A and B are shown apart, each in its own frame.
Chain A
Amino acid sequence: MATRAEITSGLAEILEEVAGVNPDDVAEEKSFTDDLDVDSLSMVEVVVAAEEKFGVKIPDNEVQNLKTVGDAVTYIEANH
């Protein structure tokens, strides 16, 4: 089981790869769209990469609830 910090750090790697987000900017309270400037198509890439990295399934109807990095960490923690 990965810790919340490990999941956050894994998401930061993905965000840097697909959207060029500085890993230092990634924190649980940050909003993907408002704070990290991740647009809807990049968010699709983040989700698919996170599914692969953490061995979870993130259904499309769940993605709209993942507003912040913390939301994603909580979902991955509960489902992987």
Chain B
Amino acid sequence: MSNVDVVVTGLGATTPLGGDVASTWDAMLAGHSGVGPLTQEWAEQLPVRIGALLKVDPSEVIDRVKMRRLDRAEAMAIIAAKEAWADAGLAGSGLDPERLAVSYGSGIGGALTLLEQDDILEKSGPRRVSPHTVPMLMPNGPAAWIGIELGAQAGVRAMASACATGAEAVALGLDLIRAGRADVVLAGSTEAVVHPLPIAGFASMRAMSTRNDEPERASRPWDKNRDGFVLGEGAGAIVLERADHAAARGARVHARLLGGGITSDGYDIVQPDPECKGGIRAMKMAIKDSGLTGADIQHVNAHATSTPVGDMGEIIGIKAAIGSHPILTSTKSMTGHLLGAAGALESIATILALREGVIPPTINLDDPDERLDLEVAAHKARTAEIQAAMNNSFGFGGHNVALIFGKA
């Protein structure tokens, strides 16, 4: 364990449950679903016609002219980052911009721009393609925009590790501060790919729920009748800060970031290792990095996406790495799966669970899979004074990331 402690001093989000952290958290505790029908004309031909769209559209927050230069994922990233920045109270604090870094990613990047501009190219020719196309579709765009908005000069790192992106960005932020490369890191991730092409691709893999008649009941991690994940969009942002830096300016601390573990399966491009070996190594690595033992981890915000195979593999992993005592939840039951942004949003849920002493529920767990032999905060939020909690994220490509947060 490093002797540099890192704390969380700012949170920001825009999600299918709310346009900021407070409204998202309130909706989570109330067990609301952010999933609804996709009523766009393009959805009619798809096998999957449900999704979790943002509660507050970015165009309601960012002015029209600026939106012309932003991919939807970039706009969402800016909204989340600005909220986190304001929450941290760092504006005007005298922070040296050369000590401020960004570690921010996306699973897929500016796909909506790529697809939209390709339509323009096909229909109207190359001269009509927007001059903003490249900065809108480049995968480092969200990180770079945040860097510009905040004036960060200690480097802008853009992560891409599929559905583990958000968690990996947070883990990298921890490393950057421990290595002395920054005092403050804006970390997180964004994803905006609710579009027929990515949906068709995931649906062709038979990875998505087709419970089109019951959108709110479609995302049901660990339930016997789960039939795949529900695609969501959103962004999360977390301000990580060296603990003594935060203390010196009297900052409010939401939680401590105690450790991280990153491993890769080296096994298959989409299938997780069936014995969760890589996931177990990531969880054990994170626990060791935190200076804790498995017995200390009282809560896990699980990756659990509502797919038949993945949900149960993680259960095997949690039991092997931690034990049978932690109370689990999967907030994806309410938000859908935000792909690259999942790890950021779920880190925020984990941090708030520690801060508030309440675990958000897993909705739709009506008929648990009989192999689920761990306790889940099913249906209703659960009051629990927890000292340390883990957030897991796994991604296509065999990425496994575990983060451990501790009560402030």
Interfacial residues, chain A to chain B (CB-CB below 8 A)? 18-20, 41, 44-45, 48
Task: Supply 14 A–B pairs (Cβ within 8 Å), ascending by A.
Answer: A18-B65, A18-B68, A19-B65, A20-B63, A20-B64, A20-B65, A41-B69, A41-B131, A41-B132, A44-B131, A45-B130, A45-B131, A48-B127, A48-B128
Chain B residues near A19: list those with CB within 8 A. 65
Least Cβ–Cβ distance between A52 and chain B, in angstroms = 9
- Chain A residue nearest to B133 in the complex (CB): A41
**Given the complex of chains A and B, what is the CA–CA distance between A44 and B127 in angstroms?**
10
- Chain A residue nearest to B66 in the complex (CB): A20
Chain A residues near B132: list those with CB within 8 A. 41
**Could you tell me the dominant secondary structure of chain B's interface residues?**
loop
Chain A residues near B130: list those with CB within 8 A. 45
Chain A residues near B131: list those with CB within 8 A. 41, 44-45
Least Cβ–Cβ distance between B116 and chain A, in angstroms = 15
Chain A residues near B65: list those with CB within 8 A. 18-20
Least Cβ–Cβ distance between B71 and chain A, in angstroms = 15
Least Cβ–Cβ distance between B59 and chain A, in angstroms = 14
Least Cβ–Cβ distance between A13 and chain B, in angstroms = 14
- Chain A residue nearest to B128 in the complex (CB): A48
**Given the complex of chains A and B, what is the CA–CA distance between A48 and B126 in angstroms?**
11
- Chain B residue nearest to A42 in the complex (CB): B131
**Given the complex of chains A and B, what is the CA–CA distance between A41 and B65 in angstroms?**
13
**Given the complex of chains A and B, what is the CA–CA distance between A41 and B135 in angstroms?**
11
Interfacial residues, chain B to chain A (CB-CB below 8 A)? 63-65, 68-69, 127-128, 130-132
Chain B residues near A20: list those with CB within 8 A. 63-65
Chain B residues near A45: list those with CB within 8 A. 130-131
Least Cβ–Cβ distance between B208 and chain A, in angstroms = 37
**Given the complex of chains A and B, what is the CA–CA distance between A25 and B150 in angstroms?**
30
List 8 A-B pairs, minimum CB-CB distance, nearest first: A20-B65, A44-B131, A41-B131, A41-B132, A48-B127, A19-B65, A45-B131, A48-B128
Least Cβ–Cβ distance between A43 and chain B, in angstroms = 9
- Chain A residue nearest to B69 in the complex (CB): A41
Beyond known contacts A19-B65, A41-B69, A41-B131: 10 more, CB 8 A cutoff? A18-B65, A18-B68, A20-B63, A20-B64, A20-B65, A44-B131, A45-B130, A45-B131, A48-B127, A48-B128
**Given the complex of chains A and B, what is the CA–CA distance between A45 and B127 in angstroms?**
10
**Given the complex of chains A and B, what is the CA–CA distance between A19 and B63 in angstroms?**
11
Chain B residues near A41: list those with CB within 8 A. 69, 131-132
**Given the complex of chains A and B, what is the CA–CA distance between A18 and B127 in angstroms?**
16
Least Cβ–Cβ distance between B132 and chain A, in angstroms = 6
**Given the complex of chains A and B, what is the CA–CA distance between A41 and B69 in angstroms?**
10
Chain B residues near A44: list those with CB within 8 A. 131
**Given the complex of chains A and B, what is the CA–CA distance between A48 and B128 in angstroms?**
7
**Given the complex of chains A and B, what is the CA–CA distance between A57 and B130 in angstroms?**
17
Least Cβ–Cβ distance between B120 and chain A, in angstroms = 11
Chain A residues near B63: list those with CB within 8 A. 20
Chain B residues near A48: list those with CB within 8 A. 127-128
Least Cβ–Cβ distance between B356 and chain A, in angstroms = 41
**Given the complex of chains A and B, what is the CA–CA distance between A19 and B132 in angstroms?**
13
**Given the complex of chains A and B, what is the CA–CA distance between A19 and B67 in angstroms?**
11
**Given the complex of chains A and B, what is the CA–CA distance between A45 and B64 in angstroms?**
15
Least Cβ–Cβ distance between A41 and chain B, in angstroms = 4
- Chain A residue nearest to B68 in the complex (CB): A18
- Chain A residue nearest to B132 in the complex (CB): A41
Least Cβ–Cβ distance between A20 and chain B, in angstroms = 3
**Given the complex of chains A and B, what is the CA–CA distance between A19 and B68 in angstroms?**
9
- Chain B residue nearest to A19 in the complex (CB): B65
**Given the complex of chains A and B, what is the CA–CA distance between A20 and B69 in angstroms?**
12
**Given the complex of chains A and B, what is the CA–CA distance between A45 and B69 in angstroms?**
11
**Given the complex of chains A and B, what is the CA–CA distance between A18 and B64 in angstroms?**
9
**Given the complex of chains A and B, what is the CA–CA distance between A61 and B344 in angstroms?**
47
**Given the complex of chains A and B, what is the CA–CA distance between A39 and B132 in angstroms?**
12
**Given the complex of chains A and B, what is the CA–CA distance between A19 and B69 in angstroms?**
10
Chain A residues near B64: list those with CB within 8 A. 20
- Chain B residue nearest to A20 in the complex (CB): B65
**Given the complex of chains A and B, what is the CA–CA distance between A48 and B132 in angstroms?**
13
Least Cβ–Cβ distance between A21 and chain B, in angstroms = 9
**Given the complex of chains A and B, what is the CA–CA distance between A7 and B65 in angstroms?**
22
